[in-house]
Amino acid sequence: MNATDISVIVVNWNSQQDLAACLASLRRQSDRDFETILVDNGSSDGSVERVRRDYPEVRVLENGANLGFAEACNRGIECSDRSWIALLNNDAEADPHWIEELRAAVRASDGDVGAIQARIMDKRVPLQVSSTGVVFGRGGDFQDRECGSTWNGRGGIEEIFCASAGAALYRRAMLEAVRLPTGIFDRGFGLYFEDVDLGWRCQLAGWSAVLAPRAVVYHARHGSSRRRGDRFVELQCRRNRIATLLKNASPTLMLQSLFRTLCDAVLLLARSGPGGARGYLRMIGHGLSQRASVAALARVGRRDVERRWLTDRA
């Protein structure tokens, strides 16, 4: 296994057109020394058939059902034996030099770097940033770093809190080191915040993450998940945010974010009724059940991570 070997994992669910554009962008890469694994979550729109016909170089893993983004990523990782795992959203398109620049960032990185964030740009708005990683605030808020800003052209590698899984490269050794009973990506999250949860856990375990701004991806923000409605995105984010905090945050931060947490609970009850409340309570229990497992792998104090990375900007 080469130290810079890369597998690109693309998770798909009924997004045939977006997926075709995504895979076409991978076919145009200047550095072709990588494999592509498609993990399909039970699509019924002909996605798998089209990939097998038009992109025979792609390895296809069919789950047969929609297992969620997190678990699909886990199964894709299990299918790969390479040193680095790149995740790319199925509604994103990679710049032709994406893999080349990611590999250059690997070679330039120290041994404690476990995640490399690509610069994600808005596919619909030229020069507008979609994400350069994740930031989180004192109220327990999480946001895409620099989202909505105009790109300033800087090119140097810089350290960040954690990567957004929409377009990121992960060191396999790190992923295996922080694996929990619920998976590398927590399968209980389904969709959203699974990357924040992983990145926070990696920080606690002593790993770092960097942005490689020359590795560029173009993405239609929430392009695939919006087909299920804005309410779906909102509910998933509110539920998974509380589980992320309960798993990884210090008691101090949880207390500081209590007002936001209570607001989330009230909004969920108002907008989705008892079903939403049950889902929220389920994720509270899920987060608490994993807290001891996170503590067992931690090499850095929870407050130490928070003092370094908490910001007023989120």
Look up residue 223 and give its DSSP letter: T
Cα gap 59→62, rounded to integer Å: 10
- In the numeric block, the tokens 């923000």 are attached to 221
Amino acid of residue 220 = A
- Give the orientation angle of helix 194-204 with respect to helix 302-309, to 10 degrees: 110
Instruction: Render pLDDT for 224-275 as a digit per residue (tens, 0 to 9).
Output: 555 666 678 888 888 999 999 999 999 999 999 998 888 888 887 788 777 7
* CA-CA-CA-CA torsion sign (197, 21, 72, 286): positive
Summarised one tens digit per residue, pLDDT across range 107-123 is 999 999 999 999 999 99
**Contacts with 193 (C-beta within 8 Å, 6 or more apart), sequence order:** 142, 236, 237, 240, 241, 243, 244
What is residue 194's predicted lDDT score, i.e. its pLDDT? 97
> Vertex 206, ends 202 and 211: CA angle to 5°?
65
**What's the maximum distance between 2 C-alpha atoms anywhere in the chain?**
54
Q: Where are the domains of the chain?
A: 6-226, 229-311
Instruction: Report CA-CA distances (Å) from 282 to 141, 159, 189, 232.
Output: 20, 34, 11, 17
Using 50, 70 and 90 to split pLDDT, how confident is the model at 193? very high
Topology of domain 6-226 in CATH is Spore Coat Polysaccharide Biosynthesis Protein SpsA; Chain A (3.90.550)
Across the range 6-22, mean pLDDT stands at 97
Q: What are the residues facing 106 on neighbouring strands?
A: none
